[in-house]
Amino acid sequence: MRLRRLDADGVRAYLDELRLRLLIVRIEAGRVRLRWAVPTWAIEEPLRFLLRLIPVALAIAPGATRRLVDRVGAARMVDPAPDGAARSGDLWRAVDRLFSEADRDLLRLPADLPFVDVETKDVRVLIGQTRL
Contact call for residues 101 and 1 (beta carbons, < 8 A):
yes
- Sequence ranges of the domains in the chain: 20-40+110-132, 44-106
**Strand order, beta sheet including 21-29:** 32-39, 21-29, 123-131, 116-119
16-20, 21-25, 34-38: segment of lowest average pLDDT: 16-20
93-131 pLDDT tens trace: 777 777 777 667 777 777 778 888 999 999 999 998 887
Residue type, 5: R
Contact call for residues 33 and 24 (beta carbons, < 8 A):
no
Reduced to 3 states (helix: H, G, I; strand: E, B; else coil), residue 29 is strand
70-93 pLDDT tens trace: 787 765 555 555 444 455 577 777
User: What global pTM score does this model have?
Assistant: 0.58
40-76 pLDDT tens trace: 888 888 888 888 887 788 788 888 878 887 787 765 5
